[in-house]
């Protein structure tokens, strides 16, 4: 690891991590910085020579967000995937490791859902329920197929509510 690229506060953090865990726990910024040349900057924003193209002066902007995630931007136009691939990393290396446990219990991950799709589903199923309720209020009877479809609508509405909470 080329320690010349690290400021004294960063070296102290790495040393502290070694003391508490017995092994270095490098953040994404540390992993990236050890592989780049021409580093300039401090705190959470750096410039470096882009490894994805023949760079004579720093054109790669590196910003570390509060959660440890890295943002890369090459002013010459290289994509982040090309930049990390050129130094033997992947895009996932730009994100900090997420803990798998909290107080010994596994952390439940939530699925990401498209809010617009959920609302459209809810609207369609609610419309169907409204039509069925209107028919029943006017003395009409529902066919077995309509009754079955009404049950499906109720299940879908319940599922949307479950997902939303």
Give the per-residue pLDDT at 96.
85
- Identify the CA nearest to 43 among candidates 58, 33, 57, 53: 33
pLDDT at 87: 92
Place of tokens 């995630």: 69
> For the segment 93-105, what is each residue's pLDDT rounded down to a tens digit?
898 877 666 666 6
pLDDT tens across 140-163, in order? 999 999 999 999 999 989 888 887
pTM exceeding 0.85? no
Q: What is the pLDDT of residue 20?
A: 47
State the maximum Cα–Cα separation within the chain, in Å, rounded to a whole number. 83
Predicted local confidence at residue 97, as pLDDT: 78
Residues β-bridged to residue 71: 63
93, 97, 83: which is closest to 17 by C-alpha? 97
For residues 27 and 68, the answer to whether their CB atoms sit within 8 Å is: yes
Kindly report the average pLDDT of the chain as a whole number.
81
Residue for token pair 């953090």: 13
pLDDT of residue 159: 87
**Cα angle: 119, vertex 125, 130; to 5 degrees:** 120
pLDDT at 15: 52
Q: Which residues of the chain have pLDDT under 50?
A: 1-6, 18-24
């Amino acid at each position: 690891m080329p320690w010349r690229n690290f400021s004294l506060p960063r070296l102290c953090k790495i040393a502290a991590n070694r003391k508490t865990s017995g092994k270095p726990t490098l953040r994404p910024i540390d992993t990236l910085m050890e592989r780049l040349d021409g580093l300039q900057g401090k705190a959470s924003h750096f410039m470096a020579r882009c490894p994805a193209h023949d760079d004579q002066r720093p054109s790669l902007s590196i910003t570390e967000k509060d959660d440890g995630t890295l943002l890369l931007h090459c002013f010459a136009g290289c994509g982040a995937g090309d930049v990390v691939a050129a130094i033997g990393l992947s895009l996932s290396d730009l994100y900090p490791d997420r803990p798998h446990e909290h107080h010994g219990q596994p952390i439940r991950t939530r699925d990401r859902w498209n809010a617009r799709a959920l609302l459209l589903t809810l609207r369609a199923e609610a419309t169907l329920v409204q039509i069925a309720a209107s028919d029943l209020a006017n003395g009409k009877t529902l066919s077995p197929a309509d009754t079955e479809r009404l049950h499906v609508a109720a299940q879908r509405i319940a599922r949307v509510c479950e997902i939303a909470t």
